[in-house]
Amino acid sequence: MKILTAAQMQAVDRATTERYGVPSLTLMENAGRSVVKFLHQRYSPLEAQEIVILCGRGNNGGDGLVVARLLREFGIEPRVLLLADPKSLRGDAEVNYQRLAQSGLPQTVPDHASWQGIKNKLGNASLVIDAILGTGLSKPLAGFLLGVVRDIPATFPKAKVVAVDLPTGVAADSGDLIGECVRADASVTFTAPKIAHVFPPACEKVGEWVVRPIGTPPEALDDNPDFYLSILQPPDLEWLVRPRELEAHKGSFGHVLVIGGSVGKTGAAAMAAKAALRAGAGLATVATSRSALPVVASLGMEIMTEPLSETDSGTISFRAVEEGILDSLVEGKSVLAIGPGLGRDSETMEMVREAVKRYETPIVLDADGLNAFAGCAKKIGVGERVRVLTPHPGEMGRLTGKKTSEITARRLETTREFAREHGVTLVLKGFRTLIASPHGQVWVNPTGNPGMATGGSGDVLTGVTAALLAQYPGRPATEVTAAAVYLHGLAGDIAAQEYGEVSMIAGDILGALPRAFQEIKRQLHC
């Protein structure tokens, strides 16, 4: 599902009218109808609700006037307040004002004095529809409307607030808050979500959001290469839960080689390998330092292990490359997962850089596999080879030479720019994890929770990503990686429901992977 800016949404609406022949008045009618349908679904019986609709003078207010008229057609009498002079209405909003007039004009509240005279009479409202301002806001609220927004919590102490498109005061094009705004319990937006629906802290003001179609044909969104930002939804993952072929065997689903683990850090490599198997890989092998191998082998009966030459500190030595051992191990493997529990010995870092340069095999880099490229990120991208990087903001800072605060301040721009510059698929982990392709497309992941901020969670993601790349070599690597991130986050959400965010550990995420697959099937009604 595409995520649009306000300007992109306006362009889509224009194209819908001019190119596809859907009148703008019809789009507004459909928007109002979508809101009414949502209200019936969520707050029935509406006849029992005391409803107040706050309308501005623009198209968002026009949507609210449609809602009011349609509710009246259902025999429901909302209180409709127009926070503007009716003479200021233009276009479709003015048309819908006149249509509403046939069943009774809205009450006009055009200024601060009028609002002060009425606000104390609204306290019994149980449902407030915020149709004051929509997606066009570019500067903080001021004056009369700011006063109304400030008064809403005290004026409607018992009411649920449903925003039309976006809560008033929230700017569509930013996750940042530019000023005071309405806090909604739910928001009904149209055609596509906007940036503010998805990214914090603005998304905290939006509440639960739903997207409703209003007549825009899908090709109006899909045919525009400038619409590079999308949010993952279950329909995007239908391919992930298709039945396997009856004649399939373990070789059909790929062989993941995890290069990682060291003395004292054996669990990370074993966790990644077990996650690869849980995510469907046919085979998983851990290649680790000779001293670490017995512990890794004891952590999973299904995991194969291979010993590699080691440094004095118990990490993998560069001799594993020089002796040709790594070459023979990589041969025939579907995907390499490099980094979990690897350690930062200089020899080990040199081994990682050589492996990334040397092997054609798709590679997932995480943890110390990423740290090997601190200050030399240009060495990661090699032609058309598949390279997937999964840093958290601190690791991303080391890759780019920037402070973590700089990374978090420009997450979207940084992720997209790095992926394009280096020709890699980049996963920048965190709330609303981002997945960027070498060609500039970016996916936003909606699953996951703060309980996943626990040691080993990233190792599970590494294993899941490697497993899906191994199973679906014909699909674009970024699409497969995005599916892995969604699945990993969904498993985390399932684990949080069972254990709580405070108590869950990475093993709980790993254990929830089978239920995550089943949940996707349920969401798709498979």
pLDDT higher than 90, residue 101: no
- What pLDDT does residue 36 have? 98
Cβ contacts of residue 449 below 8 Å, gap of 6+?
489, 492, 493, 496, 501
Average pLDDT score, the chain = 95
Where does the pLDDT of residue 384 fall: very low under 50, low under 70, confident under 90, or very high at 90 and above? confident
Where does the pLDDT of residue 288 fall: very low under 50, low under 70, confident under 90, or very high at 90 and above? very high
pLDDT higher than 90, residue 383: no
- What pLDDT does residue 104 have? 85
Q: For residues 101 and 165, state if they share a domain.
A: yes
State pLDDT tens for residues 194-231.
999 999 999 999 999 999 999 999 888 887 888 999 99
pLDDT higher than 90, residue 455: yes
Residue 226 lies in a domain: no
Q: Is 291 helix (H, G, I), strand (E, B) or coil?
A: coil
When pLDDT is averaged across residues 309-321 and rounded to a whole number, the result is 96
Q: For residues 206 and 272, state if they share a domain.
A: no
State pLDDT tens for residues 252-282.
999 999 999 999 999 999 999 999 999 999 9
Could you give the CA distance from residue 382 to residue 373 in angstroms, rounded to a whole number?
13
**Domain count for the chain:** 2
Cβ-based burial of 121 (10 A; exposed 0-12, middle 13-18, buried ≥19): exposed
- What pLDDT does residue 364 have? 98
Answer yes or no: are the C-beta atoms of 476 and 383 closer than 8 Å.
no
Answer yes or no: are the C-beta atoms of 196 and 166 closer than 8 Å.
yes
Where does the pLDDT of residue 85 fall: very low under 50, low under 70, confident under 90, or very high at 90 and above? very high
pLDDT higher than 90, residue 152: yes
Where does the pLDDT of residue 103 fall: very low under 50, low under 70, confident under 90, or very high at 90 and above? confident
Q: For residues 215 and 273, state if they share a domain.
A: no
Where does the pLDDT of residue 105 fall: very low under 50, low under 70, confident under 90, or very high at 90 and above? confident
Q: To which residue do tokens 């705004």 refer?
A: 181
Q: For residues 253 and 390, state if they share a domain.
A: yes
Show the domain range for 272: 236-240+249-523
pLDDT higher than 80, residue 526: no
Q: For residues 444 and 509, state if they share a domain.
A: yes
Q: For residues 433 and 500, state if they share a domain.
A: yes
Q: For residues 118 and 179, state if they share a domain.
A: yes
When pLDDT is averaged across residues 334-358 and rounded to a whole number, the result is 97
State pLDDT tens for residues 370-382.
999 998 998 897 7
State pLDDT tens for residues 480-500.
999 999 999 999 999 999 999
Where does the pLDDT of residue 328 fall: very low under 50, low under 70, confident under 90, or very high at 90 and above? very high
Where does the pLDDT of residue 22 fall: very low under 50, low under 70, confident under 90, or very high at 90 and above? very high
Residue 425 lies in a domain: yes
Give the CATH number for residue 152: 3.40.50.10260
- What pLDDT does residue 53 have? 98
Q: For residues 74 and 215, state if they share a domain.
A: yes
pTM above threshold 0.85: yes
Q: For residues 53 and 131, state if they share a domain.
A: yes
- What pLDDT does residue 219 have? 87
Q: Is 163 helix (H, G, I), strand (E, B) or coil?
A: strand
Where does the pLDDT of residue 519 fall: very low under 50, low under 70, confident under 90, or very high at 90 and above? very high
Could you give the CA distance from residue 368 to residue 458 in angstroms, rounded to a whole number?
12
Q: For residues 261 and 169, state if they share a domain.
A: no
Residue 317 lies in a domain: yes
Q: For residues 17 and 165, state if they share a domain.
A: yes
Q: To which residue do tokens 């707050």 refer?
A: 43
Residue 227 lies in a domain: no
Give the CATH number for residue 403: 3.40.1190.20
Residue 75 lies in a domain: yes
The beta strand positions in 229-362, using DSSP E, are 229-231, 255-259, 283-289, 304-308, 335-338
Where does the pLDDT of residue 307 fall: very low under 50, low under 70, confident under 90, or very high at 90 and above? very high
Residue 113 lies in a domain: yes
Q: For residues 196 and 260, state if they share a domain.
A: no
- What pLDDT does residue 246 have? 96
Cβ contacts of residue 188 below 8 Å, gap of 6+?
34, 35, 38, 162, 163, 164, 165, 209, 210, 212
Q: Please choose, from the candidates 287, 226, 291, 221, the residue with its C-alpha nearest in 3D space to the C-alpha of residue 258.
A: 287
H or E element that contains 351: helix 346-358
- What pLDDT does residue 201 have? 94
Answer yes or no: are the C-beta atoms of 265 and 288 closer than 8 Å.
no
Where does the pLDDT of residue 437 fall: very low under 50, low under 70, confident under 90, or very high at 90 and above? very high
Where does the pLDDT of residue 296 fall: very low under 50, low under 70, confident under 90, or very high at 90 and above? very high
Residue 31 lies in a domain: yes
Could you give the CA distance from residue 461 to residue 484 in angstroms, rounded to a whole number?
7
State pLDDT tens for residues 398-433.
999 999 999 999 999 999 999 999 999 999 999 999
Residue 88 lies in a domain: yes
